[in-house]
Amino acid sequence: DAKTTQPNSMESNEEEPVHLPCNHSTISGTDYIHWYRQLPSQGPEYVIHGLTSNVNNRMASLAIAEDRKSSTLILHRATLRDAAVYYCILRDALEPGTASKLTFGTGTRLQVTL
């Protein structure tokens, strides 16, 4: 699996935007970029994913560099409930009808303060 690099921790003030970076310089052309987060005492939760274009959903936005060697998860207005470990994961594209595993790294622990 191609590797991702994320900062160990970040801090943000509530109501401020948060940009969580991820480097994946060895990404292959068919790797999807996935983001999951894990709130305290819970299982991981899907946030967003993309391949080449920027993506938006109700939780966050994903900005993907043109060369795909890095990406940024954007939380537009951080709340205390967004305090979690955020994982950036590359997922191999396989033939339709199968689904590959996720390989979690150490992620970024986001602290949100008032």
For residue 25, give both structure tokens. Answer: 């310089």
The secondary structure of 52-107 as a DSSP string is SS-EE-SS-EEEE-TTSSEEEEEESS--GGG-EEEEEEEE----TT----------
Q: Restricting to residues 46-65, which ones interact with other proteins according to CB under 8 A? A: 46, 49
The reply to whether 7 sits near other proteins by the rule CB under 8 A is: no
> Which range in 2-10, 12-20, 39-47, 65-73 contacts other proteins by CB under 8 A?
39-47
> Which range in 4-12, 18-26, 76-84, 85-93 contacts other proteins by CB under 8 A?
85-93
For residue 89, give both structure tokens. Answer: 């994961």
Residues that bind other proteins in the complex, under the rule CB under 8 A: 32, 34, 36, 38, 42-46, 49, 87, 91-107
